[in-house]
Amino acid sequence: MDHLTDEVISFLQQKGPNFLKKWKEKAMLPPDLTQFHREKLESKGEFIYEVALKALSLPNVDLQTYLQASAHQLAQMKIRENSEIELLVYNLNMAKNILCEEMYNFQAEPQTLSKIFKQLSYIFDHFLYHSIMHYDRLKQQLNEQETRHIHSSHEDRLTLLGQMTSSFVHEFRNPLTTVQGFVQLLRAEYPDLPYMDIISSELDQLKFRITQFLMLSKKQEVNQEKVIFSLNELVEQVASFVYPRLLELKVSLQQEMEDGLFVKGIQEEVRQVIINIIFNAIEVMVSTDTESEIHIKGYRKGDSIYLEASNTGPKIPDSLIKDIFEPFVTTKKTGTGLGLYVSRQIIEKHRGQLLCRSNEEWTTFTIILPAPDQKGSSK
């Protein structure tokens, strides 16, 4: 069929102007047509036309390699144009139809024409297949690059925020420490002075909030020694710390803790996480009409220690719950969206997990930490 192929190619070469004319008339362009797309239209038609003629002349052993290489070129054109894959599919099929229409004028036996049509269909079908494959691969690479760029920019902004926050909060904490010192002196000299307990409690909570912000800064990432401590005692300390706030807002706190729960880590950081979760729960329940209740449950399961803090606040929407631990995401009107982000960073640093689930009745935050083994190390 070599001689016949030469005749077919020679015939189609003569029909080149007709092909390009019909191509420009029928090719589908993007809705947001630009001068760039107009200029590339003719060159793309010439490229597809040349690929088809070259493919007709190749033996089967070389055909797939050539079609793949040509498809990669076409996919790169589409990526540079930033046009949709649907246009590529339509225009390639349209180009095949134009060539087949031209072949009806070729003088040959019906059986011979049928073989030519089958070969053209084979070429265009595989050319289209490889073009879509390359287009999808290139598009995925671009999306991954964009995602990495966004993530990098996001991390840069968080780093800058941490540095700014650290500088500001360090300056803020110094006078706060002085105020706390004078409050202690006043309480010692005037034990009957009213409102000192309230002032002291508010200063403690302010100090807690400042510590939260400091944890955003890398300056706070010092190598503190991890120790084994009682989670039961820590929860009792937290309950005493938040008691004034619970009493003020009429929130009941129930505890259900198994005996002998120990974890290994930085006690103050884990304390910060538990306080943060409870404060969040208190704040979201303030605006509800239902009975405000927090239920803390601690237990061991396998090689892990679980601490669940549930509250009767409003359900967290499903669309938000997957991003609840991301920075600046909050359900509170006056929230910063940093507390849960910092809390997750702390728990993950302790080789644990911080999870959230929510329904119409309860919203539960679950802390999972590895239980220390008998030698005192975390598994």
Residue 291: CB partners within 8 Å, gap ≥ 6? Answer: 252, 312
Instruction: Please tell me the CATH code under which domain 2-149 is placed.
Output: 1.10.490.70
Predicted TM-score of the model (pTM): 0.48
Alpha carbon distance, N-terminus to C-terminus of the chain: 72
318 or 297, which is more confident: 297
Each domain of the chain, given as residue ranges in start order, spans 2-149, 157-214, 223-370
Q: Residue 340 — φ and ψ, nearest 5°? A: -70, -35
Q: Residue 360 — φ and ψ, nearest 5°? A: -65, -25
- Predicted confidence band of residue 27 (pLDDT cuts 50, 70, 90): confident
The per-residue pLDDT for 166 is 62
- Summary mean pLDDT of the chain: 81
Q: Residue 1: which of 123, 114, 122 has the closest Cα?
A: 114
Contact status, residue 208 vs residue 275, Cβ threshold 8 Å: yes
The per-residue pLDDT for 195 is 80
- Predicted confidence band of residue 187 (pLDDT cuts 50, 70, 90): confident
Check whether 53 has a pLDDT greater than 80: yes
322 or 33, which is more confident: 322
The per-residue pLDDT for 370 is 93
The per-residue pLDDT for 222 is 46
**Topology of the domain comprising 223-370:** Heat Shock Protein 90 (3.30.565)
The per-residue pLDDT for 21 is 87
DSSP alpha helices (H): ranges in 250-372?
267-285, 318-321, 339-349
Contact status, residue 159 vs residue 152, Cβ threshold 8 Å: no
- Predicted confidence band of residue 114 (pLDDT cuts 50, 70, 90): confident
Contact status, residue 369 vs residue 265, Cβ threshold 8 Å: yes
Residue located via tokens 């349209």:
94
